[in-house]
């Protein structure tokens, strides 16, 4: 990994499951909008795109047709690494959550490593049975799990699944801080979570809302990778809506440059994470 010591992987999460056009007119919700935004972020330097889709009314969805169209439109324009969510809604059947990555074969997909009380209003369920099925299916299709960590217990779940063979080393963790029902977006929590993961793992982190910038700076200081985007934060500054996901990418690129590092290209990110390189790419 020595050749990549100065590289930072930057994921953009442009849509998510919650922001609406009422909250911000700038959030991309339909396949054409999402693909345009992802391509613009790719041109600005993003390494990975974390994809959610919405239904025609803008609600959270795991519609395979929406994923298929979105992925097709992105792949026609650029080689950004694709990371598809498996959690685009609450109370979905297992196969509905799994089908997009099985059929569309992105390099990565999310592996939310436990259940939690989501937003103090409902249960975000990721049962042991589902997680075992999810991990095994990802291995079968050579899709790397991005292990989403909302709470410390989820790291221990990941270690259990690693020991059981449901997950394979090296693991890649995404620390999600600031979600109501999960760990708060504090530097102390980030340092604690980092201390729990196995040696040789890669990791990334982000803070939701007002925790965005403190966690971004702390993650850089601790040697981690980054995620930005309207899934996590719709404000560029206090009271000021971000007019695109690109502005987050550009700010992050400037910040990374200030500490003498660079954003990894998609191909560099693939190599850093041990991802399967698509057959139509130069290796």
Contact 124, 153 (CB under 8 A): no
**Could you report the per-residue pLDDT of 244-262, keeping only the tens digit for each?**
999 999 999 999 999 999 9
**Could you report the per-residue pLDDT of 52-87, keeping only the tens digit for each?**
999 999 999 999 999 999 999 999 999 999 999 999
**Could you report the per-residue pLDDT of 121-157, keeping only the tens digit for each?**
999 999 999 999 999 999 999 999 999 999 999 999 9
Q: Cβ of 102: how many Cβ atoms within 10 Å?
A: 15
Query: Which DSSP string do the residues of 62-127 spell out, in sequence order?
Result: --HHHHHHHHHHHHTT--PEEEE-S-SSSS--HHHHHHHHHHH--SEEEEE-S-EEETTTEEE---
Task: Supply the DSSP symbol for 275.
Answer: P
**Could you report the per-residue pLDDT of 222-246, keeping only the tens digit for each?**
999 999 999 999 999 999 999 999 9
Q: Cβ of 93: how many Cβ atoms within 10 Å?
A: 10
- Which candidate, 138, 116, 137, 119, places its Cα nearest to that of 127? 116
**Could you report the per-residue pLDDT of 116-131, keeping only the tens digit for each?**
999 999 999 999 999 9
Task: Supply the DSSP symbol for 59.
Answer: -
Name every residue whose Cβ is closer than 8 Å to that of residue 37 and which is 6 or more positions away in sequence. 14, 28, 244, 245, 246
Q: Cβ of 165: how many Cβ atoms within 10 Å?
A: 11
**Could you report the per-residue pLDDT of 1-53, keeping only the tens digit for each?**
578 999 999 999 999 999 999 999 999 999 999 999 999 999 999 999 999 99
Least confident piece of the model among 165-169, 170-174, 206-210, 278-282: 278-282
Tell me, what's the pLDDT at 142?
97
Contact 153, 135 (CB under 8 A): no
């Amino acid at each position: 990994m020595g050749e990549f010591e100065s590289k930072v992987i930057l994921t953009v999460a442009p849509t998510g499951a919650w922001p609406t056009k009422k909250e911000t007119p700038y959030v991309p919700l339909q396949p054409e909008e999402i693909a345009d935004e992802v391509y613009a972020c790719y041109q600005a330097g993003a390494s990975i795109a974390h994809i959610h889709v919405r239904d025609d009314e803008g609600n959270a969805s795991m519609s395979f047709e929406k994923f298929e169209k979105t992925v097709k439109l992105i792949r026609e324009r650029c080689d950004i690494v694709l990371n598809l969510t498996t959690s685009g809604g609450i109370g979905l059947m297992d196969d509905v959550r799994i089908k997009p990555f099985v059929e569309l074969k992105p390099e990565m997909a999310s592996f939310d490593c436990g259940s939690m009380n989501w937003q103090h209003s409902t249960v975000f369920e990721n049962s042991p049975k589902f997680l075992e099925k999810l991990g095994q299916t990802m291995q079968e299709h050579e899709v790397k799990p991005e292990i989403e960590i909302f709470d410390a217990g989820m790291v221990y779940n990941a270690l259990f699944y690693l020991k059981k063979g449901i997950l394979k080393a090296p693991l890649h963790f995404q620390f999600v801080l600031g979600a109501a029902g999960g760990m708060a977006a504090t530097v102390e929590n980030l340092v604690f979570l980092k201390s729990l993961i196995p040696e040789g793992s890669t990791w990334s982190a982000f803070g939701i809302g007002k925790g965005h910038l403190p966690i971004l700076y702390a993650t850089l200081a601790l040697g981690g990778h980054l995620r930005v985007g309207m899934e996590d934060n719709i404000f560029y500054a206090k009271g000021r809506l971000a007019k695109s996901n690109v502005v987050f990418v550009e700010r992050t690129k400037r910040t990374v440059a200030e500490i003498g590092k660079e954003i990894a290209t998609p191909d560099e990110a693939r190599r850093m994470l041990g991802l399967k390189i698509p057959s139509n790419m130069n290796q």
